[in-house]
Each structure stands twice: as structure tokens, then as C-alpha cells.
Amino acid sequence: MSLVTTDWLEKNLTNENIKVLDCSWHMPNTKRNGKDEFLKEHIPGSIFFDIDKFSDPLAKFPHTIPTSDLFENLSSEIGIKNSDHLIVYDSLGIFSAPRVWWMFNYFGHNKISILDGGLIKWKNENKKIENGPEKISQKSQFKCTTKNEMLVNIAQVKENINNKKFELVDARSKGRFDGTENEPRPDIKSGSIPKSCNLPWMECINPISKCFLSKEELKKKFEKININKSSTVAFSCGSGVTACIVAKAFEIIDGKNFSIYDGSWTEWASQPK
């Protein structure tokens, strides 16, 4: 059950095995702050999951996946247990929650579901909202079992240009991919990684309901970009967040394995010329 509906969550909010995480994160050019917005409104009982905090503090690029030790410590601090069924959502419908879904899967915790439609759908249905700080339960002892195959690095991406071991799908807008639209980070030029293809993340989401498109609709989106169905697939974007949306869409179709290029275009475009 990798996606749950708002009605399902409403019925299961009091289940002691359920933990709800507000994973709201915003692009740097929006001037919005996920934690500030969480304090004003969130789904009852939610805990705020800070994507930037759950990142490697020594990394050169934004919100790089942390070490397993750091992820264990931070998850334990907010009371997450290996027995918990995590429900992740964000304030934009489907945007940053898939990143957290991927992170937990990468660290071996697959008891995690995305709230389809997120906070937008929840509010549109007039379901209950809370405000103020979260109530953190007792510190836990969360443990990771890292799945290294769910991550690719820049060396693998460079090698892949010549040996094509996997398909690389870029989740950014067509303009950013083609180099005709500016990147949100002013020091980064737009463009694309050689031999990658483009499926903008927005095309995987219903613009009205903010839910993922149906399985059949998503299947057609992937058929249009003509990737090799027998190949493994990796996903990239600007900095590793929206790549996870398209990766989730790919997983919805038939549950195939995938990986994320975490450094994504920000790392690629920052290489010395």
C-alpha cells in the first residue's frame, strides 16, 4: 500500500502503528518555509520531517542523502520505530513527500505510504486540521538496512553515457531540460545530461486533485519517452526532490526497481568545464 487516500488516513489516524509525517519543502526561489507553515496548519498528530535537516551536513550540494548513522539518529529523535507504518504528505499535494518515501525505502524501511493529494486534498475535503508544534513521542531506536542499489552517483552517470547500463529520466520542466528556461538556483545554468530523457514531474500529477494520475495514464506517459523496458531506470531532477515523484510514478506502474541520482543537475552543472 504505497499510496493511501485521505479517507483511509482519516479512518486510521488513531491507529497506534501509524505515524504521519509532514514533509513539506519548497524551492528556494519561493521564499516559503515548510516548518513555519506546519505550525500554522497540519494533519492532526503529524510530526514535521525536515528534509534539509535529514541531509548530509558536509555535502557540497543541497539535501544530499545522509549517512545511515545520521538518518538513524534523526529518525530516533522524532520517535520513528521500525515497526511504524509511516504516512508522508506535503502541503503542495504531491511534491516533496515522495523524496521522503524514497529515503526511507533506501534505508530499508518499506512500511511507508504517500498520502495521495496531500494537505491540499485533505483541506479541500474539510477534514480536521491542527496547529502549533508537534507532540514528539519517546525517543526510539530506529535502525537502517541501506539499499545501495537505489542510489547512483556522478561517476556512474558519466560511465552510463558510454555504456548505457541504465536509462536516465530527468523530472525537470521541458524548458529547464532543453536549456531555454532558467534554473531556480541563479548560479546554475539549465540544460541536460547527455543521453538522458525528460518526463516533467508535473505531467504525472492531476492538476485539479493534486493526486497521481491513474496507473494507465502514467503508463502512457512513460511509453511516450520510449525508454528501454528491459533496462533499469534512474531518475534525476534539479537536486533530487522531484526526481522521486517520477520515480514513484514509475513504481506505481509495475513496481519495478529504480534508483535516484541524488546530486542531479545541480551537481552535474557544477562540474568544472
Q: Convert the pLDDT of each residue in 94-106 to its tens digit.
A: 999 999 999 999 9
Whole-number pLDDT of residue 37: 96
Closest CA to 36 of 26, 27, 28: 26
Model pLDDT, residue 57: 94
For residue 188, the one-letter residue type is I
pLDDT of residue 136: 78
Determine contact, residues 1/120, Cβ cutoff 8 Å: no
Q: Which pLDDT does position 36 carry in this prediction?
A: 94
237 part of the active site: yes
pLDDT given at position 86: 98
What CATH number did the domain enclosing 81 receive?
Answer: 3.40.250.10
The reply to whether 26 and 116 lie within a common domain is: yes
pLDDT tens figures, 107-125:
999 999 999 999 999 999 9
The answer to whether residue 139 sits within a structural domain is no
What pLDDT does 38 receive? 97
Cell of 117: 493529494
Q: Residue 143: how many CB atoms within 10 A of its CB?
A: 14
Using the predicted structure, report yes or no on whether residue 273 has a pLDDT greater than 70.
no
> Percentage of the chain with pLDDT > 90?
84
Query: Which residues, in sequence order, are bridge partners of residue 4?
Result: 115
Helix, coil or strand: residue 89: strand
Mean pLDDT rounded to a whole number for the chain: 94
pLDDT digit string, tens, across residues 8-59: 999 999 998 999 999 999 987 788 999 999 999 999 999 999 999 999 999 9
For residue 156, give the nearest of 103, 193, 104 by alpha carbon.
Answer: 193
| The pLDDT value given to residue 175 | 96
pLDDT of residue 229: 72
Structural domain includes residue 104: yes
Instruction: Count structural domains, the chain.
Output: 2
Helix (H) / strand (E) containing 159: helix 154-163
What is the domain extent for residue 35? 3-124
Assess if residue 257 is contained within a domain: yes
Does position 183 have pLDDT exceeding 90, yes or no?
no
SS3 52: coil
Residues 33 and 76 in one domain: yes
Half-sphere exposure of 80 (CA within 13 A, CB side): 26
CA distance 40 to 5: 23
Q: Tally the residues of the chain.
A: 273
For residue 42, the number of C-alpha atoms closer than 13 Å in the C-beta half-sphere is 27
**What is residue 31's predicted lDDT score, i.e. its pLDDT?**
84
Residue 129 to residue 120: CA distance in whole angstroms: 11
Is residue 183 in some structural domain?
A: yes
pLDDT band at 63 (very low <50, low <70, confident <90, very high): confident
Q: How far is CA 12 from CA 17, 87, 136, in A?
A: 9, 11, 19
Q: How sure is the predictor about 138, in pLDDT bands with cuts at 50, 70 and 90?
A: confident
Based on the domain organization, do 157 and 72 belong to the same domain? Answer: no
Same domain, 68 and 165: no
Mean of pLDDT values over 157-172? 95
What one-character-per-residue DSSP string does 35-50 give? HHHHHH-B-TT-EE--
Among residues 134, 36, 25, 3, the alpha carbon closest in space to that of 79 is found at 134
Instruction: Give the separation between CA 4 and CA 42, rounded to whole angstroms.
Output: 17
Instruction: Please check whether residue 198 is in contact with residue 177, taking contact to mean a CB–CB distance below 8 angstroms.
Output: yes
CB atoms closer than 10 angstroms to residue 162 = 9
Instruction: Provide the pLDDT for residue 207.
Output: 96
Q: pLDDT of 193-212, one tens digit each?
A: 999 999 999 999 999 999 99
**What average pLDDT does this structure show over 147-167?**
95
Domain end: 70, 89, 124, which one? 124
Contact 168, 157 (CB under 8 A): yes
Provide the pLDDT for residue 241.
96
pTM, entire model: 0.96
Catalytic residue among 23, 144, 237, 244: 237
| 3-class DSSP assignment, residue 132 | coil
How much is the pLDDT for 1? 58
Same domain, 91 and 199: no
pLDDT-based confidence at residue 187 (cuts at 50, 70, 90): confident
Q: Has residue 195 been placed in a domain?
A: yes
